[in-house]
Structure 1
Amino acid sequence: MANITAQMVKELREKTGAGMMDCKRALVETEGVMDKAIDYLREKGIAKAAKKADRVASEGMTHVASNDKHAVVLEVNAETDFVAKNDDFQKLVNKIANHLLRTRPNNLEEALNSDIEKGVTAQEYITEAITKIGENISLRRFDIKEKSEDSASGEYIHMNGRIGVLVILKGTNDTAVAKDVAMHVAAINPQYISREDVDAEELAHEKEVLTQQALNEGKPANIVEKMIEGRLSKWLSEISLLDQPFVKNPDITVGQYVKEHHATIASFVRFEVGEGLEKKEDNFVEEVMSQVKKD
């Protein structure tokens, strides 16, 4: 058996763009012959998939799944929004969700390196899907919540997976109430459960901004403090789930709605596809001109 060194693996990675474990496996299979290892990766479709890895994957879909004890919300990214309608992509997302529920990894790295099938890691499974579907695909993030006997999980998917929400209520088993709250979270996008959860540094920063606004308006110093109190309270009610007017009945707050059902909000997670990611904007004219110059 050939002695496969780290330098050989590094060289093959640089030539093909494939992952470290894939390169090592290729070298082992071809007894360290570099050209054969490259062919091996190409034949397996791994090198082809790796070349797609530098493409911006800011589309895709969110998904929510659950069993008796846990629930998970996740985001899987791809290059175009069309892929969310692809059966193979949807099956991939569902398989990843079930894998996360089964293994309950602590972080993304652990999730990708764990076996989704016998002898196949989640990352390797995704790489195979890249070759089949033809787009760069990645598991971007996930959040797993534990359920108890006195809790209810609300799951809501909006716009074919564009937004995915998971809500856990304590003190009730009424999943319909939990789903109502999940729908509200999808629509209004609160940042915190209650105003008491707002980070002190963020609160201080907002107060500073509001103070400067009031002073710039030329308000007398003796009434600025009261103005700030009112504006700060309004800002807190806008970002805090419990204080927000309930979308299905704006006459009451979300806090009042869950209290009517003898429940409290334990947690919520809201994922929106591509939020925070830099999206590639194609310039069709430049693309055509570049091809003309090549010809």
Structure 2
Amino acid sequence: MAEIIASLAGIGARYDAVFCDLWGCLHNGHTPFPAAVAALQGYRRAGGTVVLLTNSPRPKASVVAQLDGMGVPRDAWDEVVTSGDAAQFAMLSGAVGRRVFHIGAEKDEAFFTDFATDLMDYAKAQPPITRVPLRDAEGIVCTGLRDDMVETPEDYRVELLLGKTLGLPMLCANPDIVVDFGDKRLWCAGALARDYEAMGGRALYFGKPHPPIYDLARRRLGALRKGEPQILCIGDGIATDVQGGMAEGLDTLFITGGIDAAAFGPDSNHPDPTLLEPWLVARQLSATFAMGHLR
């Protein structure tokens, strides 16, 4: 049974570091959540290390710029690890070939050009990745929808069917199905990868809940603190943040007031335990802790 807690401060002393999700936990795509910012600042002041762990398909530098732009203070975190970072490494390694067809928005262009410091030398040593038309490709790189404000996965059915017919593997740079952007729910790359697999195509994932992003996060955390730190995973995605943390053998804090808030009663700040527990059981998952919003 998930223990419903009042604040991160109440359990923070048990953990050396947190892997904290962004969308739905720290911000809504437009603005940061003040209580969440304060919670992470307080955790760091008490000696904890904060790694922001996100399924954003963008590389670290782009996410940091986004956080700066919306006013998330730098003293709320120590390191950023993105699904884009982990997927970049796979792409550079040739996971879906070196001639790729890209599905994604203009804002995702940095995925092909902007590499974190610990990937830059590796990138320089690899043969180039070339973007080509679908029929000339060895694989597909999906960072998201081209215009997620208006499009849906159904708009990509013809392209996905052709890719499947050609036998192309898909690299999915963001396993999330949806994300809440302010009060609007947007489709993510994971929705296209899900549909591609339903058609019989093969999709490769590198963000939460899959191991590559956690391997990268541990390596970057290891550069900040030595030993074997106790880690708490925080997030509002039951199939990403919680499932991923559980698979890594880590404790988890489920933020119920995020994408599934409607399932836990009318007060998003205080999840109804009589609704929460059967909801978790139905998904065969059990977070260590739960709270409405990170604070």
Scaled to the shorter chain, the TM-score interval is: under 0.3
Q: Quick check: which one's helix share is greater? A: 1
Q: Given the two structures, how large is their TM-score scaled by the length of structure 2?
A: 0.20
Q: Given the two structures, how large is their TM-score scaled by the length of structure 1?
A: 0.20
Which gives a bigger RCO, structure 1 or 2 (Cα 8 Å, sep 6+)?
2
* Structure with greater Cα Rg: 1
